[in-house]
Amino acid sequence: MMTKIVNSWNDFDPLKHVIVGRADHSCIPPEEPATSEKVPIDSTMRGMWGPRPLETVEKANIQLDNLVKVLTERGVKVDRPEPLQWNQPVITPDFRTGSMMTCMPPRDTLLTIGSEIIEAAMSFRCRFWEYLAFRPLLSRYFNEDPEFLWSQAPRPRLSDKSYKHNYYDERISLEERLVRTANKDFVTTEEEILFDAADVMRVGKDLFIQHGLTTNRKAMEWFKRKYPDMRIHAVNFPGDPYPIHIDATFVPLRPGLIINNPHRRLPKEQRVIFEKNGWEIVDAAQPAHTEPPPLCYSSVWLSMNCLVLDHKTVIVEASEVHQLEQMDKLGMNVIPVAFRDAYAFGGGLHCATADVYREGTCQDYFP
C-alpha cells in the first residue's frame, strides 16, 4: 500500500517512526587522518583496533533493544538497520583502511529533511560504507511512500587531499586546540563536500550547521544550493576542542527552548537570531559522570544527547540525574532510559536514532 512514511522537520515535534541502531559486529577502527583526535593520548584505546569485545556488544544491544521497547510501548514505530560484517577493510582507488566501524549511530549517517532522507558525505574513511546498513530500510520506504525523496550527498573521495595531515600531533596542547577551534581551523580541507548528519540541527525552515571536525564550509555551500528556500546558518562553539556533532552541544527541546552546553556556548553574534525570535537558550545541567565509559569516543556531554518525543516528553539517560532534574524543571515529562553501555558505540540516545516520521510541517520559527 502506498502511504506517507517519511516526514520530519525538526527534533521536537511528535515522533511516530524512528530508526534505532544496532551494535552487532562493531569495530574500533584503525587510526586515520580524520579520527585520531577522538582517542586521548593516555587512553588504552590508543593504537588499538579491531572488533569490539563481544560482551560490550551484547550489553549495548540489550540497552538498544530496551530503547526500542520503550519507544514501541509509547506508540513509536521502530525500524532497525542490517549491520554488515564491519571487520573488513575499505579499499577504494583513493585510500585503504583496515576496518569499518559500526551502524550504531544512524544520526550521523542519515539526515531527514521533510520527506527526504539524505545519506551524508561523512569524512571518516572507516564509515565509507556505513549507509549500506540502512539501504534495506530506505529501499522499503521508497517502495511504499510515493513522496519519499531518497538522496545521497556527493560521495566524497576521502583521498589525502581531504585532510590536513599531522593535524592531531600529540604535542598540541588543549589550549592550542581551542585556539584552532576559535580560528575555525579543522582537520578536513575544503577539497570536497564533507558532513556528518549529526552536525545539522533542523528547525523547520532553518538549518543550523556546526562547522567543525566532521563538517566543512563546502558542505554549507552545498546545503545552500540544494535548499534555496531554506536558511542555512553556520554555527561554531569555540569552547569545544573537538567539535564533532551538534547534538551534545546545542539541543532544542521544543519551539522556543534550547539547551546549550555551558562549556561550548554559542557566540553572542550567533545567538541574535534566537533571541530576536523569543527563543530561550538555557545552560544544560552538568553531566553526572566525570569520565565517559571505557572505549568511548564521545565526551561526558552525552548527558544532554536526549531524544525528544514531543514538546512535553523527553527520553534522558537514566544515570544523568542532573539532566533529568533540569528537564523536569523545564516542564518536560522525563522518561529515564539506561543507555551508558551503548555510548562507546557512537553516542547517546539522540545519536543512536534517526527520524523517519514526526508529525508537523515546515514552520518558519525565525521570520
Q: Where does this chain bind ligand ABU (CB under 6 A)? A: 198, 244-245, 247-248, 298-299, 301, 347, 351
Closest CB to ligand ABU among 222 and 345? 345
Closest CB to ligand ABU among 83 and 347? 347
Closest CB to ligand ABU among 248 and 344? 248
Nearest distance in Å: CB 22, ligand ABU: 17
Nearest distance in Å: CB 326, ligand ABU: 17
Nearest distance in Å: CB 363, ligand ABU: 26
Nearest distance in Å: CB 1, ligand ABU: 36
Burial-class residue 272 by CB neighbours within 10 Å (0-12, 13-18, 19+).
Answer: exposed
**CA-based angle 55:56:59, to the nearest 5?**
85
Question: Active-site residue among 126, 245, 306, 341?
Answer: 245
In angstroms, the CA 104 to CA 296 distance is 13
Question: Active-site residue among 240, 296, 351, 355?
Answer: 351
Residue 245 a catalytic site member: yes
Q: How far is the CA of 278 from the CAs of 253, 257, 272, 273, 314, in angstroms?
A: 14, 9, 10, 9, 22
Please give the backbone phi and psi of residue 286, each rounded to the nearest 5 degrees, phi first: -65, 145
Closest CB to ligand ABU among 298 and 323? 298
Residue 160 a catalytic site member: no
Eight-class DSSP state of 133: G
Eight-class DSSP state of 26: -
| Spatial CA neighbour of 350 closest among 313, 310, 317 | 317
Question: Active-site residue among 196, 247, 310, 355?
Answer: 196
Closest CB to ligand ABU among 104 and 334? 104
Residue 283 a catalytic site member: no
Note the maximum CA span of the chain: 59
Query: DSSP string spanning 282-329?
Result: EEPPPPS-SSPPTT--S-GGGGG--EEEETTEEEEETT-HHHHHHHHH
Closest CB to ligand ABU among 108 and 145? 108
Q: In what order do the strands lie in the sheet with 149-152?
A: 110-113, 116-119, 149-152
Nearest distance in Å: CB 108, ligand ABU: 7
CA distance from start to end of the chain: 38
Report yes or no: 270 and 236 within 8 Å, Cβ to Cβ: yes
Catalytic residues, by residue number, are: 196, 245, 351
